Amino acid sequence: MKKGTQIKLLPRDRELAVFTREIIALRSPSGGEAEVLRRIGKEMEQMGWEDIRLDRFGNLHGRIGSGPRVLTIDGHADTVGPGERGDWSCDPWEGKEEDGWIWGRGAVDQKGGLAAAVHAGRIFRERGGGEEITLCLVVSVQEEDCEGLAWDYLIEQEGFFTGAVVLTEPTDLKLVRGQLGHCEIAVTVRGRSAHAFCPEKGENAIYNAAGLIEKIRDISPLLAAHPAFGRGRIAVTKIAGRGPSDNSVPDICRILIDRRFCPEEDEKSLVKEIEKLSVDLDCDITIPEYRHPSHTGVLRPGRKFFPGWLLDEDSPLLRAGSLALAQAGISPAPAGTWGFSTNGTSTMGKHRIPTIGFGPGREALAHQPDERVPISHLLAARDFYTGLAQEYSAMK
């Protein structure tokens, strides 16, 4: 592959591009973020962040200023895997730069936004910020596996306080004020085992589950809708049979459902929805529990139910965000919503901390082959985070 061409940038803009490439090149699956956190911590120190530390769970912290008003920028350090490598036109771990874009796993989800936030600290400090505000940065962990888990730990175990949060997930340089809820539902369908040479003697649990899978597919157009989010979503994401051996009719089939839901729906209604579809089956329906230690070895279980949230359109934080857009030279537009789930499920969904989203890159490129972010978006995001801190400190 020919070497990518680099656009001409001012020195500090080039520093941001280089830093983004470097952290993309450091693999950081959920629970394996230690190396990239060390690199980010070093960059935070160079950008003037203070009190840089890891908490017990493994989140990286820093702050600028010590004013009474607290604003926190959140960005998660972990990424999903690359998927099928043959679907990529470049090495997903190279951090390739070409024609004004940076490519690689995590470019938009969400090391690009995180890098921009780290570099925003330097500009905020240079502009004299920090007298009326404490600007915090939380580089969170394990978001891809269990969104909100790191923030549940921060708030419930460490007593972390903040007046507002901005999430650096990709938004295509638009403000976001909410997200659909997210829930995983596991259905264990039972059958009866038999030798595969006489399958009629058993009851194939996979065949039993097949009817349920078809019903799940068919209810998609009937799911509840919301003016801000559109219709909910549902998808079967995993299916696995189990029997006494590979040449036996399986007596167990487990399917995993990913459900995106509207604000008026709750855990009870989501489970009841699947119960109605499986009334003729011998099965169990549960919400799975996430049980994997963080990179520091701390195990904090988390149920795979993540409430949605929606910030009021007249929120002072959203107004500050609109002013920050103008500071960054970005055309204003009505605040939208995310289709995917974020750490906002904890900050706003559970703990009612005013939360907005703003980040470089397009949401649709998250988890995709050839994930990439425009360098122009990194620079705009950096300037937005700086402006947001200034506008938030001046809020009446």
182-212 tens-digit pLDDT: 999 999 999 999 999 999 999 999 999 999 9
Region 181-290: CATH code:
3.30.70.360
Is the CB of residue 104 less than 8 Å from the CB of residue 95?
yes
Q: What is the pLDDT of residues 255-298, one digit of tens each?
A: 999 999 998 899 999 999 999 999 999 999 999 999 999 999 99
Query: Residue 73: which of 118, 37, 28 has the closest Cα?
Result: 118
Sequence ranges of the chain with CATH classification 3.40.630.10: 11-179+308-393
Q: Is the pLDDT of residue 366 over 80?
A: yes
From the candidate CATH numbers 1.10.3290.10, 3.40.605.10, 3.40.630.10, 3.90.1150.10, the one assigned to the domain spanning 11-179+308-393: 3.40.630.10
Quote the pLDDT of residue 74. Answer: 98
Catalytic residue among 78, 251, 273, 363: 78
**What per-residue confidence (pLDDT) applies to 387?**
97
Mean of per-residue pLDDT scores for the chain: 96
Higher-confidence residue of 310 and 129: namely 310
Separation of alpha carbons 279 and 55, rounded Å? 46
Task: Tell me which of 43, 55, 109, 143 is the catalytic residue.
Answer: 143
Q: How far apart are CA 68 and CA 134, in angstroms?
A: 7
Yes or no: say if 148 and 345 are a contact pair by the CB < 8 Å rule. yes
Burial grade of 190 (CB within 10 A; 0-12, 13-18, 19 or more):
middle
Reported confidence tier of residue 131, pLDDT bands at 50, 70, 90 = confident
Tokens (6 digits) for 139: 């580089």
DSSP character for 281? S
Within the chain, all domains assigned CATH 3.30.70.360 are found at 181-290
pLDDT of residue 385: 98
H or E stretch including 37?
helix 34-46
Q: Residue 72 forms beta bridges with which residues?
A: 136, 165
78 has catalytic annotation: yes
